[in-house]
Amino acid sequence: MTLEEKAAQAGYAAPAIPRLGIPAYNWWNEGLHGVARAGVATVFPQAIGMAASWDVPLMHRVASTISTEFRAKYAATVRPDGSSDWYRGLTVWSPNINIFRDPRWGRGQETYGEDPYLTSRMAVAFITGLQGDDPRYFKTIATAKHFAVHSGPESTRHRVDVRVSPHDLEDTYLPAFRAAVTEAKVQSVMCAYNAVDGAPACANDALLQQYLRRDWGFKGYVVSDCGAAADIYLPPGEGHHYAPNPQVAVAEAFKAGMDLICGDYRHHWNMEADAIVAAVREGLLQESVLDRSLRRLFEARIELGMLDPPSDDPYVRIPASDNDTPAHQAVARRMAEESLVLLRNAGHLLPLRRTPHSIVVIGPDADSVDALVGNYNGTPSHPVTVLAGIRARFPQAAVTYVQGSGLIDAGPPGPDPLAAARHADLVVVVDGLSPRIEGEEMKISAPGFFGGDRTNLDLPAPQRTLLQKIEALGKPTVLVLMNGGALSVDWADRHVPAIIEAWYPGEQGGAAVAALLAGDFSPAGRLPVTFYQSVDQLPPFGDYSMANRTYRYFHGEPLYPFGYGLSYTTFKYGDPRVIRAGAGASEEVDVSVDVANTGAMAGDEVVQLYLTHPGVIGAPMLALKGFSRIHLSRGEKKSVRFRLRSRDLSVVDESGTRRIVPGNVDVWIGGGQPLTRPGLAHAAGVRTRFLLTRAAVLPD
């Protein structure tokens, strides 16, 4: 290739080189919870909702289904010369495994929540599902993003320099990325917009060389977030101004380990073609460094089968028709059901004991497809809103719909919701947020919202006011929340009998909610984030210290704790057992427990294992280190076993070193955290303890 041809291949829209038989390829494809931006596809629950399932095997199945639909789209659009359209390729810029450290972040909906361990397990399942298990070819290539220490605010993401302690970096912000590389063997990583400790993430040698390639052995390619390469040189107020011009910026990025530029949508869409050539010719960037990146990029295309005879690639046999199939829609329905979290059920209002004669459905999200699909989404062929789901599940009932209010304003004029509610046997209020008011770098400024983020955690005022008026009628009322991040519904928790957290539940979300109301299954979703009582309990949004953040370090009283969720049945835990193996850095501990369904119906239980290291500096107050979602028939008992390896048993000291520290380790195994606020249902569970006897320092 000529230098100009090489430079062009380092951009996300790589042109064809006919004389070398290289087809054009667009690297940019989105698949956060289904094939996105490519027309009709199966739309699964938003990522935060899938995390609420706590179901690793199902997450793997979802990702495998998504990759099948990517292959189907590719088969339908690939041209005779091997080129394909934007958003219809095989390199998927998902998952987002940033830590949802602050509920104000509008993009937190794209993540797997606030906990490094839960995020790691979900990330590994999703990545391996996307990439497939063929020994020679990848089904698709996953991209772990955004590396690293990235979680808002959206309004400053292009210019902020995040200063993070060594402890928080190793303890919170890096573990999911490490697992993605060392366990899931992810083949692509996206570097973030922000700087970390003085260096932009896409030109950060410590992140891209020390951690990613040297310590973790990453062999794939690094792609910039879209515009992040230009942020390296853009002036203060727009970017980091870390470099004086584009050619120095790309030189610093490629030397640090970035391989592919997603062009800047604000200034220099084709900066790679001009700036890379200039950097080489001015002696700022050795051409061999560019060659290194191109080798990584073409290895990925070869391993996707793009440059080999089709007969060699087993995934070529996936037909264009294998998209949005009934089987795939059934997986979306199951994940939607598993993602629902029952937050409150006073007086056992749910499940409904009999079909109501009349149901009124009220709220701005009740008949909203936007509230089903979230962001980075595909187009569902047959979306089922909550209103549609209730009408289908309760055909004998007279179902009335009144929007009642807008998301953040009074909304359009319409029938009086209070009059409708006054004559109903059941009121279902579907409130919350929408990807139109929370999300990525949005131009929105309204009470409670700014730039895609939130400035408080309350229900928007018009919805809150209407909910209070409805509750005053004294009717049996269910509040269904649809949102990407935690809401401070403390008033509702005191007054509304039943509350369901539905997230953005995907194309089958309304059917899942209706089935939950009817008692077709027992809910077992668990919160992947803490629900705080108020934004006043949180540190400043821009502060990346983990002090007083998330359940691991929060000293206050939450509204609903991480890991929380109610069931229609009951469980009993007993007979915890501990078996030791190894010592020091190779120490392992097996912990098992018996779990029995003691209630009146079959159901799933999410068995959660938490560790506490009493008196150890740097250790979280409580840390999830194991979980398993199990199904138990009525009266059935199962033994659940967890293997705790050295990293699970370790803590991070203030220097960022991961250590095994001798001393007692307290263990809680149950259906949630061991402690909750007064008045909140306590999870069943048991305690045990074991002793770590030898100190050790763990390798990176």
The pLDDT value recorded for residue 265 is 47
pLDDT for 311: 87
pLDDT at 222 over 60: yes
Smallest CA-to-CA distance from 511 within 304, 334, 689 is with 334
In this predicted structure, what is the pLDDT of residue 263? 80
pLDDT at 519: 98
pTM, full prediction: 0.98
Mean pLDDT of 519-533: 98
pLDDT digits (tens, 9 = 90+) for 449-459: 999 999 999 99
Percent of the chain scoring above 70 in pLDDT: 98
Short-list 559, 546, 548, 578, CA closest to 667: 578
Q: Which domains does the chain have, with CATH numbers?
A: 3-317 (3.20.20.300), 340-553 (3.40.50.1700), 571-697 (2.60.40.10)
- In tens, the pLDDT along 400-451 reads 999 999 999 998 888 899 999 999 999 999 999 999 999 999 998 899 999 9
Angle at which helix 56-77 crosses helix 116-131, to 10 degrees, equals: 40
- What is the DSSP pairing of strand 91-92 with strand 141-147? parallel
Supply the pLDDT for residue 585: 73
Q: What is the pLDDT of residue 37?
A: 97
pLDDT at position 587: 83
Mean pLDDT of the 470-490 span = 98
Place of tokens 């909750």: 676
- Mean residue pLDDT of the chain comes to 96
Q: Residue 460: what pLDDT?
A: 97
Answer yes or no: is pLDDT of 7 > 90.
Answer: yes
pLDDT(534) > 90:
yes
Q: What is the mean pLDDT of residues 157-173?
A: 98
Banded model confidence at residue 270, pLDDT cuts 50, 70, 90: low
Which tens digit of pLDDT belongs to each residue from 576-587? 999 987 767 788
Q: Specify the range with the lowest mean pLDDT, choosing from 97-106, 271-280, 461-470, 663-672.
A: 271-280
Average pLDDT over every residue of 54-58: 99
User: For residues 281 and 3, what is the distance between their CA atoms, to the nearest angstrom?
Assistant: 9
| Per-residue pLDDT at 264 | 61
Q: Which residues are tagged catalytic?
A: 225, 438
**What is the DSSP-derived secondary structure letter of residue 686?**
E
Give per-residue pLDDT as tens, 333-379.
Answer: 999 999 999 999 999 999 999 999 999 999 999 999 999 999 999 99
Q: Is the pLDDT assigned to residue 269 strictly greater than 60?
A: no
Mean pLDDT for 302-327 is 95
| Range list of H helices, 399-503 | 417-422, 461-471, 490-495
Antiparallel, parallel or unpaired: β 358-362 and 426-432: parallel
pLDDT band, very low/low/confident/very high, at 271 (cuts 50, 70, 90): low
